[in-house]
C-alpha cells in the first residue's frame, strides 16, 4: 500500500512531466532522482501546528490522568501536528492554539498537571464527572476562559483565584472535597453562574461586589461560616443558595428586583429576617432551621411567592397580612414564638403548618374555618398551639383614673398591648415627667415584680393589665426674674423676657413692658425696655368685610408717609379710608385695588378701611353651549354656580351678587363610549384584546391564554368579572377601567440538556454514546449534589429531578435513554449516512410528578467511513521514508534497464 501511494504521487507525476532519456542514462537519472528525494525527506523536519509547549501540556495531562484507560482517547499522542484531532481537543481556526479542552465523562483518574495553566488561549475547560484528585491548578494566567466545569471529581485543597478572568461566564466545581473560602468575584462583570456546592468548604464567602451579571450562586452543602455578605449590588441575581452550612447572619436583599429563589436553610443564622420589600419576582424563600429572632417582615410585595419556609427558628410577633399572595403554595412557620391570631389565608389551595407556636384562634370564625381547611382539612388548625395573652399598659391620672396619653405626667414603655405566650414575661419602663414621681405599688393584674422604675410582668397565664400612675412632686416657691432684655434700649421688641418664671404678653410699641410670674407662690417681677430711634408703626385694619389692606403693619421714619393698598373682594369696592391723616377719598365703583397715602407720620397710628357692596352680574363659563362627553366643569366666569341638573343635556345658572342678574347656562351630551384595558399581574399568560372600546353600560369580554404550565387563577377590576374557562366577562362598564388577569403555575417546568456526545465527530456506522440530563428549572445546576445531603436537608427542598425516559432522534436513527434518580440517562446511536444531523432529545413530562415536557437540540457532523486503503499516507520516520525511496528508485531503474 505504501509503494502504491508513493508511486501514484511522485514517480508517476515525474514520468509525465519530464523527457524520457534512453538506456543507461535513463537509469542514472532515475537513481539520481531517488537519492535526491531520499535526502530531502531525511532532512525535512515534521510539522507541528500548535506550540510545542501546548502539546506538552496535553501529553502531561494524558500521563497524569491515566490516559491509557480513558473511555475515548482517539488520536491522543499522535504525531506532531495532529493534536487538534485528539478527542476532546479543539483548536482555533488557524489550528495554532488549543482553545477548548472537553474530557467530561471520560474516566480520567489521577491529577491535573500544573502546566495546564500555560494554555493561555483556552476558553473552555470541562473535566466534569471523572475521578481526578489533588489540587486544581492555578487559572489566573488563563485570561480567555469563558466556561469552567470541574464538577463531580475528588479535588482537594482550595479553590483557585479567579482574578483577571474578566471574560468568565460560568464556573462550576461541584461535588468534590475542597476546603477554604470561595474566591473573590470582584471584577468578574460577565460571570453569570457560580456553583461550588457539595464540597467541604470551611471558610467564608469571598467578595461579591462588582459581579453585576451574576444570576445564580450556590455554596449549598458545605461547612462554611461567618456572615452571608450584603447582596444589594447584584441586581441580576435570580438564585442564591447557601443552605446546609454554618453561616451566622444574612445581609440585606434590597434592590434585587430579579431575585426568584433564596435558600439559606439549615445554618446558624441569628438576628432578623431582612426586608423583603421590592422583591416582586421572589417565588421561593427558605430560612428554616436557623436561630432567627425578631418578627416576620411585611410580605405585601411578594405577589409571586409560592414557597415560604421559616420553621424551626425563634421568630416572634404576629403573622403579617397575607392578602394578595394568591400564588402561595406552602407556608411553613411552625416551631417559632409567633403570637396572636393569624390573618386570613390568601387562598384555599395552599398547604400550611402553623403549630406548634403560641398562636390563638381568631375572633372571626370564618378565618379559623379557612385555616382548618388549609392546614388539616378536618381538624382545628390550632391543635398543637399553646395560645397567647394580651398585656395592656396604660398611664392613668392619679385622681380620676382616666388614661393620660400626652406624657404630661410620665410614660410607660412599651406603650402598646404586648401579646405573650403562655408563661411569657415582658419588661415595662415607667418614666415620670419632670416634677412627678411613680406611685407604688404598681396597679397591675399581671403577676410580676418592680425593680426601681422597671416592672416585669409575668409569667402570664391570662389576659392582664399594667397601670402606671405618676404623682406631682411637692415644689418650693420660685420668684420670677426679668430676662436679659430688661432695662435695655432696643430697635425691635424684646425677646429675652424672663430668666425665671412665666412671661406675660409684651405691651406697648416702645417703650415695652411685661412681667415674669413666679411659681409655687413666688413673687412676680416687673420688666421694661426702651425703643431706639424715631420710627413709628403704621397699622392697616379693615372694618367689617369686603376686602383686605396690605401691609397690615409697617415701620415709618419720623415725618415720612406710609402707603397702603386696599384690595376689594369680588362684588365690593372701597368706600372709605380714615386715620393717619389720609385725605378723604371718592367711593369706588369697581373691585380694582386702590392705593392710599398717609400724611407725615409723627406717632404710631392706624388706617381703617371700609368696603361697600356693588352689583355683579352672573356670566356663564366656557362650557356653556358646548357638546361634552362628561358633565361640565367650567360653569361660571362670574357669579356663583348653581347645582348641575340633568345627565345630558345639562343646565345650571350663574347668579349675580348684590342684586346682579342671573345667567342661565346649558351644555349638550355627546355619545359615550369607554375604554377597557386588559392586563396580567406578573407572568403566566396573556390577555386579549389589550384594549377595547365599549358602549356605556355594555359588558366587555377578554380571552385568557395561559402559558404552558400555568392556568387562569382569577380576574379583578372593571366592577367584578365572571370567568368561564379562559373567557372573562366584566360587569356593565360605566367608565374607563382596567381588568387584571392572574395566572398561577400548573406544574413544574423542566430543562432537557445534551451533556455529551462521544465521539464528537463520528463516522458512519460508529457507535455514538449520547448522555442527556433532565432537571427541574428552578434548581438546575445544583440538583446533582442533593443525593449527598442528609434526608432532612433534601426534605426541605422541592423535588428537582424528574424520572422517566428521553427519546433521542435524528439523522435516520434514534434511541431511548432511561433516566436515573439524578435525572441522567445514556443511549447509543448508529448513523446510516454522513452529513450534519440535528439530534433532538425529547422528555415527555410526567403527569404524576407534575413535570412539564421539554426538549433540546444538538448538531453533530457525521463523516463517511474510509473506503480505500490509499486514502491517507501512512506515517513513517525519516529513515523509513529514505529506505522506501531507495527501494522504489531501484525498482524503477531495473524496469528501465529491461527496456
Predicted pLDDT of residue 542: 94
What whole-number distance in Å separates Cα of residue 815 and Cα of residue 826? 9
SS3 of residue 260 by DSSP: coil
What whole-number distance in Å separates Cα of residue 878 and Cα of residue 43? 8
What whole-number distance in Å separates Cα of residue 292 and Cα of residue 312? 9
What whole-number distance in Å separates Cα of residue 185 and Cα of residue 206? 7
Name the residue ranges covered by the structural domains of the chain. Answer: 388-472, 481-531, 535-613, 619-669, 673-745, 750-862
Predicted pLDDT of residue 893: 57
Name the CATH topology of 750-862.
Immunoglobulin-like (2.60.40)
H, E, C per residue of 649-693: CEEEEEECECCCCCEEEEEEECCCEEEEEEEECCCCEEEECCEEE
Architecture (CATH level 2) of domain 388-472: Sandwich (2.60)
Count the helix, strand and coil residues of the chain and give each as a percent rounded to the nearest 5: 10, 35, 55
Over the stretch 444-460, which tens digit does the pLDDT of each residue have?
999 999 999 999 999 99
Residues ≥6 apart with Cβ < 8 Å to 400: none
Grid cell in block for residue 846 = 410526567
Predicted pLDDT of residue 800: 46
Predicted pLDDT of residue 5: 37
SS3 of residue 625 by DSSP: coil
**Phi–psi pair at 452, nearest 5 degrees:** 70, -125
Over the stretch 607-657, which tens digit does the pLDDT of each residue have?
999 999 888 888 999 989 998 888 999 989 888 898 899 888 899 999 988
What whole-number distance in Å separates Cα of residue 414 and Cα of residue 410? 13
Tell me which H or E stretch contains 388. Answer: strand 388-396
Predicted pLDDT of residue 726: 92
Predicted pLDDT of residue 301: 96
What whole-number distance in Å separates Cα of residue 784 and Cα of residue 800? 9
**Phi–psi pair at 497, nearest 5 degrees:** -85, -50
Residues ≥6 apart with Cβ < 8 Å to 331: 308, 322, 345, 350, 351, 352, 353
Task: Write down how long the chain is.
Answer: 899
Over the stretch 761-811, which tens digit does the pLDDT of each residue have?
899 888 999 999 988 754 443 333 333 444 443 443 344 466 789 999 998
What whole-number distance in Å separates Cα of residue 120 and Cα of residue 139? 9
Extract long-range pairs of 482-488: CB within 8 Å, 24+ residues apart: 482/516, 482/525, 482/526, 482/527, 483/516, 483/527, 485/527, 485/529, 486/527, 486/528, 486/529, 487/528, 487/529, 488/529, 488/530
Domains 388-472 and 750-862 agree in fold: yes
* Positions of the chain with pLDDT under 70: 1-48, 376-378, 747, 777-802, 847-850, 867-899
What whole-number distance in Å separates Cα of residue 90 and Cα of residue 74? 13
What whole-number distance in Å separates Cα of residue 478 and Cα of residue 271? 52
- Let me know: does 294 contact 733? Beta carbons within 8 Å: no
750: β partners: 776
What whole-number distance in Å separates Cα of residue 577 and Cα of residue 492? 28
Amino acid at each position: 500500500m505504501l509503494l502504491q501511494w508513493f508511486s501514484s504521487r511522485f514517480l508517476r507525476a515525474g514520468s509525465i512531466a519530464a523527457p524520457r532519456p534512453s538506456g543507461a542514462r535513463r537509469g542514472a537519472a532515475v537513481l539520481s532522482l531517488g537519492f535526491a528525494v531520499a535526502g530531502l525527506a531525511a532532512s525535512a523536519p515534521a510539522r507541528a501546528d500548535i506550540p510545542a509547549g501546548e502539546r506538552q501540556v496535553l501529553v502531561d495531562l494524558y500521563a497524569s490522568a491515566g490516559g491509557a484507560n480513558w473511555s475515548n482517547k482517539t488520536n491522543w499522542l499522535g504525531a506532531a501536528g495532529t493534536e487538534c484531532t485528539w478527542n476532546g481537543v479543539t483548536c482555533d481556526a488557524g489550528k495554532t492554539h488549543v482553545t477548548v479542552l472537553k474530557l467530561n465523562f471520560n474516566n480520567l483518574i489521577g491529577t491535573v498537571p500544573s502546566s495546564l495553566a500555560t494554555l493561555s488561549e483556552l476558553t473552555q475547560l470541562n473535566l466534569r464527572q471523572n475521578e481526578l484528585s489533588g489540587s486544581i491548578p492555578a487559572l489566573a494566567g488563563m485570561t480567555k476562559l469563558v466556561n469552567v466545569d470541574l464538577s463531580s471529581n475528588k479535588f482537594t485543597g482550595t479553590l483557585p483565584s479567579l482574578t483577571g478572568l474578566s471574560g468568565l461566564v460560568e464556573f462550576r466545581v461541584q461535588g468534590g472535597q475542597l476546603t477554604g473560602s470561595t474566591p473573590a468575584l470582584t471584577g468578574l462583570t460577565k460571570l453569570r453562574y457560580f456553583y461550588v456546592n457539595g464540597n467541604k468548604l470551611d471558610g467564608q464567602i469571598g467578595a461579591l461586589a462588582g459581579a453585576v451579571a451574576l444570576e445564580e450562586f450556590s455554596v449549598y452543602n458545605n461547612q462554611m461560616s461567618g456572615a452571608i455578605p450584603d447582596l444589594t449590588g447584584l441586581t441580576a441575581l435570580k438564585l442564591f443558595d447557601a443552605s446546609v452550612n454554618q453561616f451566622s447572619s444574612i445581609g440585606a436583599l434590597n434592590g434585587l428586583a430579579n431575585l426568584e429563589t433564596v435558600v439559606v436553610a439549615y445554618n446558624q443564622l441569628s438576628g432578623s429576617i431582612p426586608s423583603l420589600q421590592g422583591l416582586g419576582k421572589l417565588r421561593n424563600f427558605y430560612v428554616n432551621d436557623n436561630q432567627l429572632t425578631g418578627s416576620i417582615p411585611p410580605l405585601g410585595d411578594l405577589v409571586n411567592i409560592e414557597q415560604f419556609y421559616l420553621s424551626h427558628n425563634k421568630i416572634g410577633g404576629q403573622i403579617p397580612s397575607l392578602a394578595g399572595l394568591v400564588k402561595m403554595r406552602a407556608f411553613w412557620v411552625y416551631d417559632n414564638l409567633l403570637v396572636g391570631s393569624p390573618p386570613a389565608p390568601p387562598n384555599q389551595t395552599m398547604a400550611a403548618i402553623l403549630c406548634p407556636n403560641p398562636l390563638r384562634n381568631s375572633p372571626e370564625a370564618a378565618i379559623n374555618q379557612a385555616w382548618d381547611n388549609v392546614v388539616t382539612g378536618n381538624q382545628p388548625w390550632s391543635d398543637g398551639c399553646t395560645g397567647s395573652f394580651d398585656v395592656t399598659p396604660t398611664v392613668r391620672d392619679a385622681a380620676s383614673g382616666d388614661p393620660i396619653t400626652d406624657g404630661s405626667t410620665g410614660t410607660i414603655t412599651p406603650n402598646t398591648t404586648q401579646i405573650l405566650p403562655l408563661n411569657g414575661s415582658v419588661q415595662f419602663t415607667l418614666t415620670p415627667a419632670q416634677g412627678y414621681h411613680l406611685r407604688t405599688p404598681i396597679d397591675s393584674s399581671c403577676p410580676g415584680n418592680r425593680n426601681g422604675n422597671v416592672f416585669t410582668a409575668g409569667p402570664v397565664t391570662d389576659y392582664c393589665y399594667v397601670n402606671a400612675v405618676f404623682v406631682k412632686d411637692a415644689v418650693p416657691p420660685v420668684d420670677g426674674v426679668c430676662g436679659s432684655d430688661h432695662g435695655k434700649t432696643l430697635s425691635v421688641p424684646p425677646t429675652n423676657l424672663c430668666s425665671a418664671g412665666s412671661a406675660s404678653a409684651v405691651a406697648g410699641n416702645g417703650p415695652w413692658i411685661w412681667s415674669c410670674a413666679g411659681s409655687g407662690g413666688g413673687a412676680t417681677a416687673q420688666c421694661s425696655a426702651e425703643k431706639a430711634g424715631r420710627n413709628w408703626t403704621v397699622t392697616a385694619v379693615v372694618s367689617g368685610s369686603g376686602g383686605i389692606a396690605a401691609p397690615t403693619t409697617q415701620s415709618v421714619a419720623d415725618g415720612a408717609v406710609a402707603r397702603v393698598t386696599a384690595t376689594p373682594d369680588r362684588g365690593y369696592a372701597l368706600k372709605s379710608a380714615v386715620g393717619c391723616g389720609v385725605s378723604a377719598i371718592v367711593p369706588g365703583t369697581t373691585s380694582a385695588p386702590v392705593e392710599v397715602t398717609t400724611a407725615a407720620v409723627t406717632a404710631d397710628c392706624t388706617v381703617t378701611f371700609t368696603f361697600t357692596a356693588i352689583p355683579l352680574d352672573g356670566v356663564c363659563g366656557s362650557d356653556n353651549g358646548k357638546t361634552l362627553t362628561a358633565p361640565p366643569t367650567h360653569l361660571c366666569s362670574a357669579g356663583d354656580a348653581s347645582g348641575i341638573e340633568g345627565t345630558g343635556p345639562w343646565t345650571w345658572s350663574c347668579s349675580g351678587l348684590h342684586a346682579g342678574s342671573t345667567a342661565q347656562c346649558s351644555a349638550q351630551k355627546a355619545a359615550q363610549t369607554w375604554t377597557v384595558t386588559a392586563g396580567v399581574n406578573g407572568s403566566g399568560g396573556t390577555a386579549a384584546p389589550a384594549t377595547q372600546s365599549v358602549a356605556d353600560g355594555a359588558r366587555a369580554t377578554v380571552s385568557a391564554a395561559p402559558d404552558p404550565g400555568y392556568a387562569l387563577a382569577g380576574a379583578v377590576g372593571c366592577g367584578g368579572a365572571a370567568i368561564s374557562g379562559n373567557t372573562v366577562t366584566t360587569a356593565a362598564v360605566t367608565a374607563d377601567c382596567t381588568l387584571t388577569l392572574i395566572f398561577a403555575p400548573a406544574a413544574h417546568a423542566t430543562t432537557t440538556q445534551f451533556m455529551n456526545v462521544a465521539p464528537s465527530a463520528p463516522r458512519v456506522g460508529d457507535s455514538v454514546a449520547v448522555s442527556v440530563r433532565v432537571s427541574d428549572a428552578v434548581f438546575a445546576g445544583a440538583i446533582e449534589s442533593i443525593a449527598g445531603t442528609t434526608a432532612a436537608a433534601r426534605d426541605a427542598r422541592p423535588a428537582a429531578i424528574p424520572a422517566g425516559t428521553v427519546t433521542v432522534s435524528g439523522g435516520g436513527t434514534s434511541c431511548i435513554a432511561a433516566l436515573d434518580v439524578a435525572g441522567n440517562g445514556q443511549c447509543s446511536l448508529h448513523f446510516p449516512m454522513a452529513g450534519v444531523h440535528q439530534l433532538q432529545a425529547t422528555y415527555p413530562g410526567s403527569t404524576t410528578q407534575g413535570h412539564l415536557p421539554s426538549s433540546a437540540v444538538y448538531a453533530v457532523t457525521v463523516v463517511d467511513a474510509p473506503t480505500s486503503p490509499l486514502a491517507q499516507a501512512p506515517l513513517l520516520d525519516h529513515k523509513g521514508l529514505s529506505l522506501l525511496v531507495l527501494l522504489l528508485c531501484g525498482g524503477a531503474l531495473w524496469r528501465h534497464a529491461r527496456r
